[in-house]
Amino acid sequence: MRLFGFLRERRWTPAVGYGLFVALLAAGYYYNVTFVQLGLLDLGTRLVGMTETQVSVWMAALALLTFGVAVATGVTMDRRGWSADLLVKLRLLFGVVALQTVLTAGAPAIRTVPAFGAWIVAASVALGVGIPASFGLTVDLVPVEDRGYVAAATTALAYFAANVYPLDWSIESFAAIMVAAMVPGALALGVLASGRVGPANRLLAGLADQHEEWGVGRFCRPRPVRTRSVAFWGPVALMFGVFFVDSLGFLRIVETPALVRGAWRSPDFADHLFLGVVHVLGALVAGVLYANFDRNWLFAWVFGLFSLTHLFYTTDVRVAAWFPGLASGGASPLNSAVYAVAVSFYTTLNFALWPDLSTPDTVGAHTALGVGLAGWVATFLSTAVALYFEAAEVTLLSHLNLVNALALLLFAGLVAAVYLRRLVAAAREASAG
């Protein structure tokens, strides 16, 4: 890693840049997987009084608005040159964190549907601006050689924290934790982005030009990846499939008490600590794989792991149905552990992939399209499908079998596509020779 070289040479400025990036991205991801995904459901159903279906409709609006704002912001950043301007990105992020702090502090007081809707619209603006502004920092702060490892560290930190704290999935708990962390974070970002504090200015001056050496992503060499190309939309389609499979399966698993009693909803802290450690180990392995292998093999690992974990879950469900006497009343810890590894794998890939498909001139639009479409919109669509299955009274076994089949199909399709591409390349070389 180049980071070790910076530390040996006592070049503290680039090393601080690594820490700044990991802290900002891990905090942002922790906010999304806890407060947004879990807290808003509790707010809408328990305090506002809506049904889960009604809350899901508002969450769909959140996803689509966030995607639209992200794309508009990313394209604007690229066209105005802001994607290559570290100070502008930090100022955008300061605005995002300041707005989110106010929204987060006020969320537990919401009691009506119109107020909930207004909160969703304002939160969408903050999230949409935050996607290209935060992911765009990669070109300034992380050299290409280290992006897999840095993405792994970000994933490990975010998921370890999300699994061990808080254990109470209520909007009040989430808001208290977030506000306590966001107020000092917003103040620090404000100082950094103000341009009026000497030490902060010297730090930014040392970081501002790093994109000239580090900005061109791993997959943009020797030629930049164009937005209107298979090289860009292929990974978008694969990541869309990853998020779709994950959400479609997890939404049903987390609503089945027998499958989460010893995992994500366990009253025992040791179970949460176990999952947090597994996430960390999974992220570290994914970082090593990303740095040393082609991205398609990491996608194949993700689909394979999702297939394996759903095979485990469906086996437990079948055993419980066929042999009630053998059923232990809960799923094996191995199921949730494999699931956690799969999630860490694709989250690491998601942090590193979009900047590596970009240059400083395209990182705004590419990260907005990649994260917004493959992440937010895919999650919204899979939520809608899961709600349809629930309304149609699709059984747990059938639901998980379908997710398993989809993961297997994507795994086999990807392996076949890689094999065919290599055959075509070999045939072209043979004909050219």
Two structure tokens written together for 189: 């970002």
Of how many residues is the chain composed? Answer: 433
367: part of which helix (H) or strand (E)? helix 363-369
- H helices within 357-392, ranges in order? 363-369, 378-391
Please say if the pLDDT value at position 233 is more than 90: yes
Segment 388-431, tens digit of pLDDT? 787 788 888 899 889 888 888 988 888 898 889 888 888 888 88
Q: How many angstroms separate the Cα of 283 from the Cα of each of 33, 295, 298?
A: 16, 15, 12
Neighbours of 12 (CB within 10 A): 12
Quick one: DSSP state of residue 226? P
CA distance 85 to 97: 19
Q: Give the pLDDT of residue 141.
A: 96
Report the percentage of the chain scoring pLDDT > 90: 55
Q: 3-state class of 50 per DSSP?
A: coil
Count CA atoms within 13 Å of residue 95 on its CB side: 14
Torsion angle of C-alpha atoms 389, 394, 398, 399, degrees rounded to 10: 30
- H helices within 84-219, ranges in order? 86-106, 113-135, 138-141, 147-164, 171-194, 198-207, 211-214
Residue 325 banded pLDDT, cuts 50, 70, 90: low
Neighbours of 3 (CB within 10 A): 20
Q: Confirm if 368 and 52 have CB atoms less than 8 A apart.
A: no
Q: Give the pLDDT of residue 313.
A: 85
Neighbours of 272 (CB within 10 A): 21
Q: Considering the entire predicted model, what is its pTM?
A: 0.91
Q: Give the pLDDT of residue 330.
A: 64
Considering only CA atoms, which of 229, 257, 247 is closest in space to residue 380? 247
Residue-averaged pLDDT of the chain: 89
Please say if the pLDDT value at position 71 is more than 90: yes
Segment 98-107, tens digit of pLDDT? 999 999 999 9
Instruction: State the angle between helix axes of 396-432 and 295-322 in degrees (0 to 180), rounded to the nearest 10.
Output: 150
CA distance 121 to 116: 9
Two structure tokens written together for 402: 């379908």
CA distance 14 to 6: 7
> Which of the residue ranges 157-166, 271-280, 375-384, 406-415 would you say has the lowest mean pLDDT?
375-384
Residue appearing with tokens 């297939």: 307
Q: Confirm if 336 and 415 have CB atoms less than 8 A apart.
A: no
